[in-house]
Amino acid sequence: MIRHTSEVRVRYADTDQMKNVYYGKYFEYFEQGRSDFMRSLGLPYGELERQGFYLPVIEAFARYRRSARYDDLLLVETRLPEIPGAKIRLEYSVVRDGETDVLVDGYTVHSFVNASSGRPTRAPEMFINTIAKAIEGAKA
């Protein structure tokens, strides 16, 4: 398993009338974590798109345990539990900086899609190789 942690500062615009983070915003926080995770591996989305691949979300889930509030500094941990095939599942947990209680956890599942044809495809070989090296490095 490989993981990456991103920081997200809750903006006032992210909160609802009760001053809690609006539930849909956590999927945006997951997206930031996912983008940062991919970039940390040397696989930014822009590069995958230049190589002719898209990664649309085909499934998303979040479990809300506690609320975050305006100006909280959140840590979004993104985890990749296994080498992907035609799909990739990323897992997330969100905690308030300095605390250990999980506020929200969840996952997203993405399909690799050929940008030219719009059809599902297997993960590109360079993607698989990069992930495999990162997993091996995490075990060492």
The number of CA neighbours under 13 Å toward the Cβ of 115 is: 12
DSSP 84: -
Q: Phi/psi of residue 82, each to 5°? A: -155, 160
Contact 74, 94 (CB under 8 A): yes
Tokens representing residue 91 in the block: 């897992």
Which residues are marked as active site?
16
